[in-house]
Amino acid sequence: MVAQAPAAGWSLDELVAHAGRLLARLGLAARVRDGRVSPAPDARTVRYYTTLGLIDRPRIDGREARYGRKHLVQLAAIKALQAEGLSLSDVQARLYGRREAELDALLQGAAAQATRTPPQPPVTTAWREIVLEPGLRLVASADWAPSAREALARRFEAAIDALVL
């Protein structure tokens, strides 16, 4: 599914073009376009991802940067996760230190999901947590909004009672 790089590798522009085509073939481009990130990574972005260690340093050949299949998979995986709504720091946390085979699997998974279902909300749920006292925590999902406060306070007391009993 992923194009093999020629022995001489790709130039940065070619890498970017291949990544665009790969995302389209995997059915990820449309999802990307709906989201908040651009489908076609540009050369500048690739350099930035390199400084983040998300894309390997290119090979240098005749003083030119040359990219291969792993670079392509790395770039596509970043875009695939961004399409799921992950921020760049979350993408870095997920992808950092990944091998080519793992990234392949991740791309396959994303592609399978893309063909099965329309774009879904992010798969990561953030929770906020407050320690009320040692042994007791209050956990709220990130999209929680308070309902009627008094009713909430009553429920809270009832919950404490239930826990104590």
Partner 1 sequence: MPANTAILPLIDADLPATRGRRRLGQLLVAEKGDARQRALPLSGVDIRARVADRVAEVTVQQRFLNDHDDPIEAIYVFPLAGGCAVADFEFTVAGRTIKGVLAEREQAREQYAQALAEGKRAAMLEQERSDVFTISVGNLPPGEQAAVRIAYSERLPFFEDGHTELRLPLVVAPRYIPGQPLDGASAGDGTESDTDQVPDASRITPPRLAPGFDPETALTVEVELLGGVAADLACSQHAVSQRSQADPASTLVSLSRDDERLDRDFVLRWRLAHDDVSPSLVYGTHDDGRAYGLLSIAAPRTGRDVGAARDVVFVLDRSGSMSGPKIASAARACVHLLRTLGPGDRYTIVAFDNLIEWFEGARRLVAADEDALARGERWLRSVDARGGTEVDAALADALALLDARSDATGRQGAVVLVTDGQVGNEGAVLKRLRLTRGAVRLFVVGVDTAVNAAFLDQLARAGHGTSVLVEPGASLEGALVSIGRDIGRPLVTDLSIEGAGGAVVEAGSVAPSRIPDLFGGRASMMAFRASTAGPVRVRGTSADGSPFEITVSPRAVTFPAVAHLWARERLADLEDAYRLEPQRADALRAEIVDLSIAHHVLTRFTAFVAVDEREAVANPLERRKIVQPVEMPASWDAEAIGATYRSSAMPFAAGVTLGAPQAARWLHTAPEAAMAKLGDTLGRLTSPEPPDEATSLAGDLPTLLDDLKRAFGQAVPWSAADTERLRSLRKRLAPLEHTLGGRAREWVQRLISILNRIIHLLEQRSGHDEALREAITALEGVIGETPLTWSRKRRFWERSV
Determine the residue type at 147: S
CA dist 128 and 141 (Å) reads 6
- Verify binding: residue 28, partner 1, rule CB under 8 A: no
Joined together, the tokens standing for residue 17 give 């073009």
Binding partner 1 by CB under 8 A: which of 3, 17, 43, 160?
43
- Segment contacting partner 1 (CB under 8 A): 3-11, 22-30, 56-64, 149-157? 56-64
State the minimum distance, in angstroms, from the CB of residue 165 to partner 1.
27
- Segment contacting partner 1 (CB under 8 A): 2-10, 18-26, 54-62, 153-161? 54-62
CA dist 20 and 28 (Å) reads 10
Total residues interacting with partner 1, rule: CB under 8 A:
48
Give Cβ neighbours of residue 8 (< 8 Å, ≥ 6 apart): 61, 66
Q: Are 12 and 67 in contact (CB under 8 A)?
A: yes
Task: For residue 34, give the 3-state DSSP assignment.
Answer: helix
Give the interface with partner 1 as residue ranges (CB under 8 A): 36-38, 41-45, 47-48, 50-53, 57-58, 60-63, 65, 82, 87-94, 96-97, 99, 102, 105-106, 109, 123-131, 137, 139
